[in-house]
Structure 1
Amino acid sequence: MEGEINNFMMVCLSVFTSLCYCYGIGKIVSKGTLRLLTIVPVVCLFLALPLNLHSMHLVGISSFFIAWLANFKLLLFAFGKGPLSDPSISLPQFVAIASLPIKIIQNPPPKTSKKGHKSLWNYATKFLLLVLCVRVYDYSEYIHPKVILLLYCLHIYFALEIMFAMFAALARTLLKSELEPQFDEPYLSSSLQDFWGRRWNMMVSRILRPTVYEPTLGFSNQLLGRKWAPLPAIFSTFMVSALMHELVFYYLGRMRPTWYISWFFLLHGLCLMVEIAVKKVVTDSYRLPPIISGSLTLTFVMSTGFWLFLPELIRFNAFAKTLDEYAAVGAFVKDACGIRV
């Protein structure tokens, strides 16, 4: 445990030093190819850093925050785009925005919309539900396997939202800035478009939009016209998301990919294309009521997750390792505090 914490501290130091270097590069090197060349070594380093860790939680954090989000933000920064290219940004803001799954609301109005922002009671309830899921695993031999898979889905959702909220709270306190929300109750989604674009892990959609969706949309406009151009742009975005998720899963399991994760995202990309195409030709009066479309959306997301997504986590014992880490952290805290049971 102590060795892994030391490794994580070294990773954090490497990230901080590298981002300070990138911040300085932004002041002296003009945007474009030359800035990109000076940043490429940092991108390569960020791709390698998760390999220095072994804990499921720390590998997950470093691979998603650094190897994916930070690298995409730096690539945008190389060409003068994205959240890091604001000329008024300070070094602490640069480091926080690059390394954490946050986005500062620029010039928020006096009454900022609370959409996606939740109360402490909301997070407390989800934390208790997460604890309950973990405790229920002790009785898994008495529970139907499909129910266990449902618990895994809830475990992933609660853990991700709580973890992101903790980092957002830290960033909000340090930066004194209003941040955009990261999740917005995805179980209330009324369609796949609503789920992926507005409710589930909105940091991913925010970083993929300027890096993949918008460039592909501009190219598609010339070939297909404005009406149908979003379709290939959506599929391209899901392709990139699939590849990045495969990379994250490799970091987590260190096993040869089976490409089930890619099929999961490609399937959802195809289905979202169909959904949007249907919306373009069908009037509102012929569309399903939200309660029905929402039920179908959640059923589709969970069934495809059971089929293609969760088996990859189960393949390298992700949930068992996670529970072991919870126990290890508890034992470490007890030992550090001198608690004897």
Structure 2
Amino acid sequence: MQAVALPTMESELRALAWATLLTPACAVYARFTARCLRPGIPRLAALLPTFPVFVYMPCMFSSLHLRLFSTFFHTWLATNKLVLLALDLGPLHPRLPLLPFVLCAGLPIKVRLRQSQQQPTKNQPPSSSSPPPPGAEFLRPCARSVLLLSCLTVAYPYTGWLPLYALHYLYCIQIFLTLDLVFSCVMLVSAALMGGESLERQFNTPLAVTSLNGFWGRQWNLMAVDLLRESAYEPVRARWGRDVGVLAAFLMSGLLHELLYWYLTLQQPRGEMLLFFMFHAAFQIAERWARAAGLWRPPKAVAYLLVTAFMVVTIPEMFFGPFVRAGTDVRLKEETMAMVELIWGARKYLLRPFRVASS
């Protein structure tokens, strides 16, 4: 089976340049098309030429990290947003200004309503304090993720004695920190470019999980949750009920993760991602039934231990297993360590303008 080629600086910079050109071009075309055509089949047919571009874009990258983010940003989010745009749904709208439209189309961001646009209530007088600078709320998660990822990179060579489930839990933490770092950096730049627009965070303390419904619905990857809710859950729920809507959303998520598996390994998926998400969907529905019947009301600390144990038991074999067997985890760790070493090795050049003596 063909493997993903090893990345070089030249190949990745070239792929980044193409992605930086193609994504805004497709977004501008989509906005122009949406302003000219009514929602429905005409608008969807006009947007169809952009879909192959976003589907192919991850294949331009050899770095597994960049493939992963391109799959999520372009093949998953951008395509989903454009399909919803064709139906006059989702976060994109033809009346959005050009720059916010382009950024929202190609990046995992969601614009939050400004405080100045909200009607003040009688019990809440307008605040006289000046708002924080654009993106200030994303600086702390950036610094935290960099620090903790560096600690993980240093610790990985000494984790050979850990049991497999503990090592996979470290993988979960690495995935969260990496996604939070990239998303926070994206939002930091986007907020600055859009002149102070308030953006919603994409994670809400996902490691402090006390409920499967809370984790998948209100804590983890909220941009993907919003799109799955509009594209799968809401239409199915309106016709067949809430539980079938949940199954539809998890089914779509499982299929998208099967696609992610193919992009990262170039191997034929075997349905393990789909099985993992459908398994969690069934337990999420069962948890809600038990809570409604009064059978599931444990203390918060007990709920945290039980749900975390459920995650630790199901994630290693069902989610990480296929990637581990394909050697993807080793490749991702090598790329992470190489990036940290590159940044650490470049520190003397970054500090040179400040005339800081090298030790």
- Residues 1:277 and 2:289 aligned together: yes
1: CA distance, partners of 2:21 / 2:93:
23
1: CA distance, partners of 2:106 / 2:242:
30
- Residues 1:202 and 2:222 aligned together: yes
1:74 equivalent among 77, 82, 96: 82
2: CA distance, partners of 1:41 / 1:86:
18
CA contact (8 A) 2:236 2:245 kept: yes
Structure 1 residues 279 and 335, CA gap change in structure 2 (3 angstroms): closer
- Residues 1:158 and 2:177 aligned together: yes
2: CA distance, partners of 1:146 / 1:331:
27
What is the CA distance between 1:272 and its match in structure 2?
Answer: 0.6
1: CA distance, partners of 2:293 / 2:164:
41
| 2:98 match | 91
Give the alignment of 1:253-268 within 5 angstroms: 253-268=265-280
TM-score scaled by length of structure 2: 0.84
Query: Between Structure 1 and Structure 2, which shows a larger proportion of helix residues?
Result: 1
CA contact (8 A) 2:58 2:71 kept: yes
CA contact (8 A) 2:31 2:94 kept: no
Structure 1 residues 234 and 55, CA gap change in structure 2 (3 angstroms): same
Structure 1 residues 189 and 323, CA gap change in structure 2 (3 angstroms): closer
What is the CA distance between 1:247 and its match in structure 2?
Answer: 0.7
What is the CA distance between 1:142 and its match in structure 2?
Answer: 4.0
Matched pairs, number: 326
TM-score scaled by length of structure 1: 0.88
**1:204 partner letter:** A
- Residues 1:312 and 2:322 aligned together: yes
What is the CA distance between 1:123 and its match in structure 2?
Answer: 4.3
What is the CA distance between 1:44 and its match in structure 2?
Answer: 2.2
What is the CA distance between 1:302 and its match in structure 2?
Answer: 2.1
2: CA distance, partners of 1:118 / 1:282:
39
| 2:53 match | 45
- Residues 1:132 and 2:151 aligned together: yes
1:9 equivalent among 17, 21, 24: 17
Q: For structure 2, list consecutive stretches of 5 or more residues without a partner in the other structure.
A: 1-8, 119-125, 353-357
Give the alignment of 1:150-189 within 5 angstroms: 150-175=169-194, 176-189=196-209
| 2:300 match | 290
| 2:237 match | 217
1:35 equivalent among 27, 39, 43: 43
2: CA distance, partners of 1:107 / 1:155:
32
What is the CA distance between 1:307 and its match in structure 2?
Answer: 1.9
SS in 1 for 2:160: helix
Deviates more, 1:237-246 or 1:131-140: 131-140
What is the CA distance between 1:47 and its match in structure 2?
Answer: 0.9
Q: Deviations over 1:60-89 (max 9, x none)?
A: 1110011001111100100111111252x1
Q: For structure 1, list consecutive stretches of 5 or more residues without a partner in the other structure.
A: 221-228
| 2:4 match | none
2: CA distance, partners of 1:126 / 1:23:
35
What is the CA distance between 1:128 and its match in structure 2?
Answer: 1.8
| 2:110 match | 103
CA contact (8 A) 2:110 2:200 kept: yes
Structure 1 residues 146 and 191, CA gap change in structure 2 (3 angstroms): closer
Q: Deviations over 1:164-210 (max 9, x none)?
A: 11111111111121011100111222210011101011111111111
2: CA distance, partners of 1:53 / 1:331:
21
What is the CA distance between 1:121 and its match in structure 2?
Answer: 4.3
Structure 1 residues 244 and 44, CA gap change in structure 2 (3 angstroms): same
2: CA distance, partners of 1:330 / 1:296:
35
SS in 2 for 1:48: helix
1: CA distance, partners of 2:260 / 2:138:
30
SS in 2 for 1:188: coil
Deviates more, 1:55-64 or 1:286-295: 286-295
1: CA distance, partners of 2:110 / 2:164:
38
Structure 1 residues 120 and 21, CA gap change in structure 2 (3 angstroms): closer
Identity of aligned residues (%): 28
